[in-house]
Amino acid sequence: VSVLVVSCPCALGLATPTAIMVGTGRGASNGILIKSAEALETAHSVNVVVMDKTGTITQGKPVVTDLACQSGVTEDYLLQIAASLEKLSEHPLARAIVAEAEKRNTQFLPVEQFEQIPGQGIKGSIQGLACLAGNQKLLNAEGIHDEALEQLQDQMADQGKTPLFFAAAGKLIGMVAVADVVKPTSKQAIADLQTMGIEVVMLTGDHKKTAEAIRKQVGVDRVVAEVLPQDKEREVRSLQASGKKVAMVGDGINDAPALARADVGIAIGAGTDVAMESADIVLMRNDLLDVTGAIELSKATIWKSCLLSARKFYRAQV
C-alpha cells in the first residue's frame, strides 16, 4: 500500500513575502534600494565583503599633492603635458590633475592618437612627441627607468599617495603624486563588518605600498594591489570557489563585472550607471555604513520570516 501525503506550507507561503515586503520597504526608507527578494535573502549569509578602494572606501575626489620634475623640466611643462593627456581620461586621478592645471591656468595642448592601456595608463601624441602617463608597469613596458624617481615613488606610496609617471619622446619628464581622502565612516563600517564575523578585502590598482598605507588607515583584513579591471571579477570568483559567500562593493565601470559575479553586488549611489545596473543593491547615501545596514536588514528579514512562519503554523494547529 502506498500513501501520498500532499501539504501546502501556507504559513511559510504567507510569511516570507510579508517579511520581504517589509524589509525592502524599510531599506528604501533608509536609502538602501534592494532590487530583488533574492538579494535580500542572500545578503544575510555573506561572509566576505570585497571593496574597491577609489570612490568606495575613499571619497573618490583626489587632489594633487606633489610634482617632481626631471632636471631641465619645469613644473609648468610637466603639468601641461600631464593635464593635456589626462583630460581625455575618465579616471578620478586624471580629474585631479586636470583640476590642478585649471587652477594654475595651464594651457591644454591638443592630443592625437590617444590610447588607454587598462591597469597601466594612457598614451598620446602631443606636438609630434609620443607622450605617456601611467604607473611603473607602463614605464617597464616602454623600457623607461629612473632610479631617483622610482625611489621617490616608494616614499610617496608609503604616505598613501598614488604616484603617476609622465614621459615624452621616450624620456621621463617627471612624476605627479595624487592622494584621495578616506571617507569619515569607512573605518567604522569596516570594523562593524568584522564584528559581524565578515572578512573585508580591499581591491585597488594602486602600488602595493600605497595600498598597504590605506589598509593601515581603515583596518581591512586583506589587500589585493595593482589589480587590472578583469582581476576584480577573478578575485570574487576565486573566493566563491573556496566556498565563500561574497558581496562586492564598488562604484565604477571597472567594478561592473565583479558586481555581477558576486553573490550580492552592492553599488555606491554616487557611482556610474553601469555599476548600479550590475548591482543587486544600491546605496543612495554613498556611505559604507549602509553596507552593514543592508546585511543587518537581510538578517532581520530572515529572522522575521521564520518568526512569522512559526506563529502562523502554531495558529493553524490550534
Strands 281-283 and 264-268: parallel
| Residues 174 and 78: beta-carbon distance below 8 Å | yes
Dig out the grid coordinates for 81 from the structure: 603635458
CA 201 to chain centre: 11
Q: What strand order describes the sheet that includes 63-69? A: 63-69, 171-179, 162-168, 129-134, 121-126, 112-117
Examine the residue annotation and report whether 52 is marked as an active-site residue of this protein: yes
Residues 6+ apart with CB under 8 A from 132: 85, 121, 122, 123, 124, 138, 142, 166, 167
Rounded to 5 degrees, what are φ and ψ at 178? -125, 140
Residues 6+ apart with CB under 8 A from 8: none
Q: For residue 211, which of 135, 117, 147, 146 has the smallest C-alpha distance?
A: 135
Q: Is the dihedral of CA 145, 149, 151, 157 positive or negative?
A: negative
Q: For residue 249, which of 222, 225, 275 has the smallest C-alpha distance?
A: 275
Residues with catalytic roles: 52
